[in-house]
A = this chain, B = another copy of it.
Amino acid sequence: MSETITRPDPVVSGAQDILGTRGLLVDPEMIEPWLTDWRGRYHGKARALAQPETAAELSALVRLCARMNVPLVPQGGNSGMVGGATPDESGQAILLSLRRMNALRIDAATSTADCGAGVILQTLHEAAAAQDLRFPLSLGGKGSATVGGLISTNAGGTQVLRHGTMRALVEGLEVVLADGSILDLTSALKKDNRGFDLKQLWIGSEGTLGIVTRAVVRLIPAIAERRVAWAGVDTIHDARRLLLHCQQALPQALEGFEVIPRDCLDHVLVYMPDAQPPLAQRHGWNVLMEFDADRDAAASLGEAVENVLANAFESGLIDDAVIAANETQAEAFWELRENVASAERQRGPARQHDISVPVELMPDLLDRAEREIPEQFPGVEVVGFGHLGDGNIHLHTIAPQGVDVDEWERGDGARISELVYRMVTDHGGSISAEHGIGQDKLKALQETRDPVAMDVMRAVKQALDPHGLLNPGKLVAPKG
């Protein structure tokens, strides 16, 4: 009988020297939960889970990995949508958790927050609120999503219309590069023209060009007053006209503009049997709007919103509308919106597409998708909902009842996605508006994106991570 002799992994022992035993987990049971993405679609292996506490520790780890040719897969809250934080199955990589780098300091005088990459979004919200300030970015995963992850994926959410994506809120950041050097770009300068804005490289690059360890983000005054309204309109074109109307009337106040088609609201009401429909009748499209004001603008908000909706009604833009009478009702409106994805998911297997086009083209694109997809794929249902104000719709295509799911996914499902991505590309749009590319959309990206743009991405990757050790298999590979 032969014995297996396990030789110590020199990478692991080197990393342990740097991080200590608390900073480097090797126990498979401890690592296991982080090797699968939260939707359970991707699973990988890792030789260890590194949890550095400082940029200096991470720098030493990255140098070690560079020397020993070991890939690093950074991970924040592990709540991404595209498998961007899951390692491959080779077991070569070190999984890198930034969660222990969670120092947080609010500076009320400059309206900024200095956050470690591991700070959880909800924590940032609460710390800002305690100083009568607000970090104006929120999304479903706020209880787990980290600042580092939000930067690496240039996260969006429901307030982009007014405040932009994460990119617009990052004033400075610190990053550890592929060779282990630490680049400190946290000095929050309003103006700096020493060449192009370096920090942009690490916003939205999914950990493939360096590892964000810290950021200074912008805060704004807390909301003093809000109005949440629900309107029924006939068509998505009417919804777009209502959007323009609201933007022209109250450009500073309009924070959210979400659309939900009739059937989709029906599904939500089935999924949430205790919920009330906001309007007495069913309408072709439902629009959820939020208008916000800080202290100075609070007094006039209520009347202004009433006027805007009254005008929209009088000019025939909307069929019916209601303004939430209180915070409980406002929250109830938002809950309907927040449960759309779950309600749709419960109805059966679907392909989900997180797409954007210039806002003015979205109604046409939706029309086309609703017509052409069922034509070409009989029995498939098309549901588009979400952030119309940003030109960003989540387009779900639901498999016909009774199909073999795996087979459908590989066959018609894949072909439907190809069709959707072709339509989007025809409209000058993006196949990933807010979820990123990760491993999920890698092939679709290569198939749809302008080869010149892909070349630039590969050249920059080659320049900043020539050996391809940072989050390999995601977004982009080096050119060489």
Contact = CB atoms under 8 A, between A and B. Distances in A.
Interface in A444-460: 445, 449-450, 452-453, 455-457, 459-460
A193 B452 contact: no
A181 B452 contact: yes
Contact of A476 (B183, B195, B433): B195
B160 A357 contact: no
Interface string A446-480: 00011011011101101110000000000110010
A77 B182 CA distance: 38
Contacts of A200: 196-197, 200-201
A396 interface: no
Given A450-B184, A463-B460, A204 B209 contact: no
A390 interface: yes
Contact of A356 (B177, B192, B251, B387): B192
Nearest to A221: B251
Contacts of A131: none
A148 to B, nearest CB: 15
Nearest to A387: B191
A108 to B, nearest CB: 11
Interface residues of A, number: 79
A190 B359 contact: yes
Contacts of A432: 192-194
A450 B177 CA distance: 14
A226 interface: no
Interface in A393-440: 428-437
A238 interface: no
Given A360-B110, A453-B185, A459-B463, A430 B191 contact: yes
B189 A356 contact: yes
A385 interface: no
Contacts of A479: 463
A165 interface: yes
A197 B189 CA distance: 20
Contacts of A153: 193
Contact of A191 (B165, B205, B221): B165
Interface in A232-250: 244, 249-250
A445 B194 contact: yes
A433 B160 contact: no
Interface in A162-204: 165, 167, 177, 181-185, 187-198, 200-204
A374 interface: no
Contacts of A192: 356, 430, 432-433
B191 A160 contact: yes
A198 B390 contact: no
Given A110-B359, A183-B453, A191 B392 contact: yes
A206 B196 CA distance: 8
A249 B191 contact: no
Contacts of A203: 196-197
Residue of A156, A192, A429, A445 contacting most chain B CB atoms (<10 Å): A192
Given A202-B196, A453-B185, A456-B177, A191 B359 contact: no
Interface string A66-89: 000000000000000000000000
22 contacts: A110-B358, A154-B196, A177-B452, A177-B456, A183-B452, A187-B358, A188-B358, A189-B356, A189-B358, A189-B428, A190-B391, A190-B392, A191-B391, A191-B433, A193-B204, A193-B432, A194-B449, A196-B201, A197-B200, A198-B453, A456-B464, A460-B463
Given A193-B434, A196-B204, 14 more contacts: A153-B193, A154-B197, A183-B456, A185-B453, A188-B358, A189-B358, A190-B359, A191-B387, A193-B437, A194-B445, A196-B203, A196-B457, A221-B251, A459-B463
